[in-house]
Amino acid sequence: MKALEKSHPKEGLWMVEAPVPEIGPDEVLIKVNMTGICGTDIHIWNWDDWASHTVPVPMITGHEFAGEIVELGRDVTGLAIGQRCSGEGHLVGTDSRQSRSGKFHLDPGTRGVGVNVQGAFAQYLRLPAFNVVPLPDNIPDEIGAILDPLGNAVHTALSFNLLGEDVLITGAGPIGIMAAAVARRASARNVVITDVNPDRLALAREVADVRTVDVSQESLHDVVAEMGLKQGFDVGLEMSGNQTALDQMCEAMVMGGRIALLGIPPGLAPMDWSRVVFKALTIKGVYGREMFETWYKMIALLQNGLDVSKVITHRFPVAEFEQGFAAMKSGKSGKVVLDWRDA
Ligand code: NAD
Ligand code: ZN
């Protein structure tokens, strides 16, 4: 099969011929139709500090996918050949306290598809049946291929009750933009999203009904005053990983406000903790998706009219993967989807 592999410990990915994976008794083989390029894949492409310390070489990358089941392990029940699916890219064990209490997404032994085990940028993917998420007929493959980041957005946005609340999202990357759309569906009163990149903010306005703020040009403080928010934002979703954005968010919150942190700062990030204390803020770290409650909720939201299709701005046949990665690296794109059907 064809696969996109980190074959050498340096910048880039290479299209290689690899053996079709053999599956175990509890696994399925999935024929991959579409994949999404994630920020994680860009780290792996760039071979930055994190990637070179985390990813063994060679490694088939990629974890955002949609496809269909073509082979079932002998102990697999409840799934069928031909079933369209996406799937959770975190492989968990069943021994930890967290897993045994049903919080699989908190298993400390988690391994990542396309990071620690062979990934989804390939014509075929081997996956534990446990990780498979069947796709309803009315969710197309290209949306199936972005359920992983949509799941990050849904997990973060649903961390706190948003009904009637004023919500600030920092960072209008694909995940921040989808979180804005979810916050709207969850009946937030006002949703404000910040960025320093006008292309990203324009995309946010296309995908979701939000007030965008370019914090390199406009003062968030003035926007809050103009919107008539008396004390500030009730809920903050940090989705930039940027230190200044988090500072600005803490400043803009109401007393007793709640913040969910998804963005990953590149290194140590100093924080004015006394402000957190005096404002009585709650801060929650968010990692991945809840297994599998987030998957259930996001599919329900999609079936109930949530439309994130416009967040996909680029589509390429996988032969043109280099253009796909270039689009992602330009910082101007939303989600980039690669089509594997004619690989
Ligand atoms: P992205 O890099 O595409 O988007 C981040 C956005 O933040 C960019 O548009 C950037 O211009 C913007 N930004 C930079 N400085 C800013 C500032 N001062 N104020 C406001 N915005 C600013 O990332 P993404 O793919 O949308 O992911 C969002 C974040 O979530 C990233 O930090 C990513 O690493 C992280 N992430 C975390 C998890 C998790 O499980 N916790 C999973 C996926 C992604
Ligand atoms: Zn991802």
pLDDT attached to residue 126:
98
The CATH number given to whatever domain includes residue 246 is 3.40.50.720
Distance 17 CA to ligand 2 centre (A): 24
- Give the environment of ion ligand 2: residues with CB less than 5 A: 38, 64, 148
Domain-embedded: residue 191: yes
Domain-embedded: residue 298: no
Q: Which residue's alpha carbon is nearest to atom 2 within ligand 1? A: 173
Distance 239 CA to ligand 2 centre (A): 14
Q: Average pLDDT in the 8-15 region?
A: 98
Please state, in angstroms and rounded to a whole number, the distance separating the CA atoms of residues 19 and 17.
7
CA-based end-to-end distance of the chain: 9
Give the ligand whose atoms come closest to the C-alpha of residue 289: 1
Are 243 and 314 in the same domain? no
Q: Which two tokens stand for residue 226?
A: 């103009």
pLDDT attached to residue 99:
97
Distance 108 CA to ligand 1 centre (A): 24
Name residue, tokens 């259930």.
296
Name residue, tokens 């894949």.
41
50 lines ligand 1 (CB under 6 A): no
Catalytic option among 43, 105, 155, 314: 43
Q: Is the pLDDT assigned to residue 261 strictly greater than 90?
A: yes
Q: What are phi and psi of 36, to 5 degrees?
A: -105, 145
What single string gives the DSSP state of each residue in 304-334? Answer: TT---GGGEEEEEEGGGHHHHHHHHHTT--S
Are 112 and 227 in the same domain? no
Distances 245 to 190, 201, 236 between C-alpha atoms, Å = 19, 15, 11
Interval 18-65: pLDDT, tens: 999 999 999 999 999 999 999 999 999 999 999 999 999 999 999 999
Q: Average pLDDT in the 179-199 region?
A: 97
The CATH number given to whatever domain includes residue 39 is 3.90.180.10
Respond yes or no: is residue 155 known to be catalytic. no
pLDDT attached to residue 267:
87
- How, if at all, do strands 64-72 and 59-60 pair? unpaired
Q: Which two tokens stand for residue 261?
A: 């942190």
Interval 167-179: pLDDT, tens: 999 999 999 999 9
Domain with 23, as residue range(s), is 2-146+308-339
Please state, in angstroms and rounded to a whole number, the distance separating the CA atoms of residues 88 and 130.
9
Distance 178 CA to ligand 1 centre (A): 12
Q: Are 29 and 69 in contact (CB under 8 A)?
A: yes
Q: Is the pLDDT assigned to residue 80 strictly greater than 90?
A: yes
Respond yes or no: is residue 314 known to be catalytic. no
Are 219 and 195 in the same domain? yes
Q: Which atom of ligand 1 is nearest to the CA of 194?
A: 20
DSSP conformation class of 7 = -
Interval 267-301: pLDDT, tens: 899 999 999 999 999 999 999 999 999 999 999 99
Domain-embedded: residue 90: yes
What single string gives the DSSP state of each residue in 37-84? Answer: --HHHHHHHHT-HHHHHH--SSEE---EEEEEEEEE-TT--S--TT-E
Domain-embedded: residue 53: yes
Domain-embedded: residue 293: no
Q: Which two tokens stand for residue 26?
A: 């509890």
Interval 115-129: pLDDT, tens: 999 999 999 999 999
Computed over every residue of the chain, the mean pLDDT equals 97
Q: Number of structural domains, the chain?
A: 2
Catalytic option among 35, 40, 194, 212: 40
Q: Which residue's alpha carbon is nearest to atom 27 within ligand 1? A: 175
CB atoms under 10 Å from CB of 108, counted, come to: 10
172 lines ligand 1 (CB under 6 A): yes
CA 273 to mean position of chain CA atoms = 28
Domain-embedded: residue 39: yes
